[in-house]
Chain A
Amino acid sequence: MEPAISVRELRKTFKLSAKQRKIERADVRVKTAVDGLSFDVAPGEIFGLLGPNGAGKTTTLRMLAALIKPDEGDAFVGGASIVSDPASVRARIGFLTSELKLEDVFSPDYLFDFFSELHHIEPTVRDERKRVLFERFGIDRFAQTKVADLSTGMKQKTSLAVSVAHDPRVIIFDEPTNGLDVLTARTVTDFLLELAAEGRTVLLSTHIFSLVEKVCDRVGVVIDGRMVACGTLSEVAGERSLEDAFFDLYAQTVGEAS
C-alpha cells in the first residue's frame, strides 16, 4: 500500500543571525535543523516524532505542511510533493500547532466559515461539518463568543475544529497537548484516536512519552535533526520503557556527536 506520508532525505538549514549566534554560542553561521530525515507513515496510522526541544521536529512538520521548503530532499503527502505542489499538500492536510493562533476578534463560527471558504467547501457541506464538530467539542455553546473571551482549552478546541474543517485525510499536529490542562489534553488525545479509527493518517510531534505510548502505532526518535530510531514502540523500546530507551539513544547520539 502506498504510504500516506513518504519522507525522503529531507534537509533544512537556517542562517543564524549575529544575535542568534551569541545566544546559542555557535561559531557557525548556518544551523542544520533537519539532517537527511526519511520515514514513511502508512494510511490510518498514528506516527509520533519524539525528540527534545530543538531536535528539528517542528521544522520537519512545517516542511511536511508545506509551510517552509526543504533545502534538499522531498516528501509526498497524500501523493503530492511538498516541493513541486505545496498548495495541494496544504489542501490535503489538517495542520495544527500550538504556535498557530486564531484571531481574537472573531468567533469560532466566523473562523470556521472563513477557513472553510479558503478550502472552497460548499456552504451546505460546511454547515453540516460545523454542526458535527462543534457538537463533538462542545463549541456550540460559545460559537458566537469572540476568541479573545475564550479559555485556553476552548481556544484549542476551536483550533482543532477549524484545522479539520475541510475533512482532511492526513492530519499533522505539532505538540498537540502542549500547555493544555488535563481535560483538554484528554479531549485532544481522544480526538486523535477517533481520527485514526476513521482511517485517517495522523503525524504528531511531541516530547511527552505518555502521549506516544497512548496513541502512536509507530514512533520515530529525532535528535539533532536526525532519525536515530524508527519503528513500533516495541521495536524502539524493546523490554525497556520508552523513556529509558529514549535516554539511551540520546546518550549514544550526543556522545557520538561530541
Chain B
Amino acid sequence: MKGNVITITRKELARFFSNKTSAFVSIALPGLLIFFMWTFMGDAMGSMFAPDMGKTPVVATVNAPASVKAIASDSVVKVEDEASLPSEDEMRERIDRGDVQAYAVFPEDFDEAVAAYDPASGAAAPQVEIYFNSANPDSSQAFAMLSSLLDSYESSLSNRFDVNAGAGEYDIAEERDIAGTFVVSIVPLLLLILVFTSVMSIAAESVAGEKERGTMATLLATPIKRRDIALGKVLAITVIGLLIALSSMLGIFAGLPSIMQGAVDMNVYGPTDYLLIALVIFSTTLLMVMLITVVSTLAKSVKEATMFLTPLMIVVMIVGILGMFGEAEEGIAFYAIPLYNSVQSMIGIFSFDFQPANVAVCVASNIAYTAVGVALLQRMFDSERLMFSR
C-alpha cells in the first residue's frame, strides 16, 4: 500500500514539475512578486502619500497681522502676503503647481480684535480661515503646520498650563505593538488567498483534470486501491501546497518592512513566534489542500472544479478580512472553527497576545479536519458516479 501511494505521489510531483514554468509560477512567483513589488514600489508608494519634508510650506495670507508674521518668521512656514483670496479653482491650480501650499484669511485688524476679545462676553471670536487641498500631501502638511502655529499662538495669549511640552517621548507604544498592528491587518488575508488560489489550480488539474482528460480511468484500471490513488494525489498536492505556503510566507515577511516604509521591523518576532506561525500556516495549508481536493473530486472538469471552488474562495477571503479588524478571540472554542481559527491564531501571535493552548487547538483541529477530509476523499474515489462521470 505504502509503495503504491509513493508511486502515485512521485508521478503527481513529476507531472507538476515537468512544466518548469508552471512550477515556478505556482510556487516561487507569488512570494517573489510580493517581495519585489513591495521592495521596489514601497518607496514610490510611500512618496505618493508623504509630503516633501525638504520643502518649506508657503502660505499665502490675506490681512496677515504683524504678530503672526513674527511667529512664522521663527518657524518652518513661510508666509506671503496676498491682496485678496483667489477663487477655489485658482487656489487648487496654484497648490497643484506648488507655488503655494495653503491660503489663510485673517480679519482686518486681527491683533486689535484679539486683544479686545472677551471670552466671557459670549460674542463670536475673531475667525481665521485656512484653505488647503487635502488630496495634496504638501498642502495637508502646510495646513497642519499653520494650524499648530496658530494654536500655539492662541495658547500663549492666556497660557495657564502646557500639555506634553518639551521634547519628551510620550508615545509609549513599542515597536512590536506597531509591527503587530500592521502585520495582522495584512498577513492572514494575503497568506490565505495566495495559498488557496495557487493550490486551487493544482488540485483541480490533479483530480478533475485527470477525469476530464481520461487519464484517471487509466489509473483506476490498475490493481492499485483507489484510496491509495486518492492518498497519493493528496500527498503530492500537500507537498506543493507547503512549498507555496513557505514561499509566500518568506516573500511577505521579507517585503513587509519595505512596503511599510520602515514602520515595521520583523525582528520584533523571535524564533518561537515564527515557529508557531509556521505551524499555523502549514496546518492551514493541509486543511485547504484537503478542502480543495475534495471539492475538485466532485467536478467532471477543471472548469467545473474552478466553478465549485469559487464560493469556497469567497469564504476564505471573508475569513481572511476578519483579521483586519479587532483583536484575537479569547474563547478556546473559536480555535476549533476551520480557517477562522488560523486567522485568530495569526492575529494572536503577531500581536503578542495569544494563549498557547488556543494555538495548539488550532493546529490540532486543522490536522484532525484534514484527516477526516482525506478519509472522505478516499471514499469518494470509490464512487463510480464521481470517478466515471464525464
Q: List the interface of chain A (C-beta within 8 A of B).
A: 15, 62, 65, 67-69, 87-88, 90-91, 95, 97, 99-106, 110, 114-115, 117-120
Contact = CB atoms under 8 A, between A and B. Distances in A.
A68 B3 CA distance: 24
A57 to B, nearest CB: 16
A101 B214 contact: yes
Contacts of B223: 87-88, 90-91, 118-119
B222 A119 contact: yes
A217 to B, nearest CB: 25
Nearest to A89: B223
A118 B222 contact: yes
A192 B316 CA distance: 54
A118 B4 contact: yes
B67 interface: no
Contact of B214 (A87, A88, A100, A110): A100
Given A101-B213, A118-B222, 18 more contacts: A65-B221, A67-B388, A69-B384, A87-B224, A90-B222, A91-B223, A99-B214, A100-B215, A100-B217, A101-B215, A101-B217, A102-B215, A103-B213, A103-B215, A105-B19, A114-B11, A115-B222, A118-B224
A102 to B, nearest CB: 7
B211 to A, nearest CB: 11
Contacts of B218: 100-102
Contacts, number: 57
A85 B352 CA distance: 57
Contacts of B18: 105-106
Given A67-B221, A90-B221, A117-B7, A106 B214 contact: no
Interface of B: 3-4, 7, 11, 14-15, 18-19, 213-215, 217-218, 220-225, 384-385, 388
The prevalent SS among residues of B at the interface is helix
Contacts of A88: 223
A121 B217 CA distance: 21
Nearest to B210: A103
B324 to A, nearest CB: 41
A99 B223 CA distance: 18
A69 B385 CA distance: 11
A108 to B, nearest CB: 14
A110 to B, nearest CB: 7
9 contacts: A87-B224, A100-B217, A100-B218, A105-B15, A105-B18, A105-B19, A106-B15, A114-B11, A117-B7
Contacts of B224: 87, 118
Contacts of A103: 15, 213, 215
Contacts of B4: 118
Contacts of B225: 87
Contact of A95 (B19, B215, B221): B221
A119 B224 CA distance: 8
Nearest to B218: A100
A110 B384 CA distance: 28
B384 A114 contact: no
A102 B213 CA distance: 9
Contacts of B7: 114, 117-118
B15 A100 contact: no
Contacts of A95: 221
Contacts of B213: 101, 103-104
A99 B217 contact: yes
The 3 closest A-B pairs by CB, nearest first: A101-B214, A91-B223, A90-B223
Nearest to A94: B221
A58 to B, nearest CB: 11
A97 B4 CA distance: 23
A67 B14 contact: no
Nearest to B15: A105
B222 A67 contact: no
Nearest to B8: A118
Nearest to A93: B221
Contact of B14 (A91, A100, A110): A110
Contacts of B3: 120
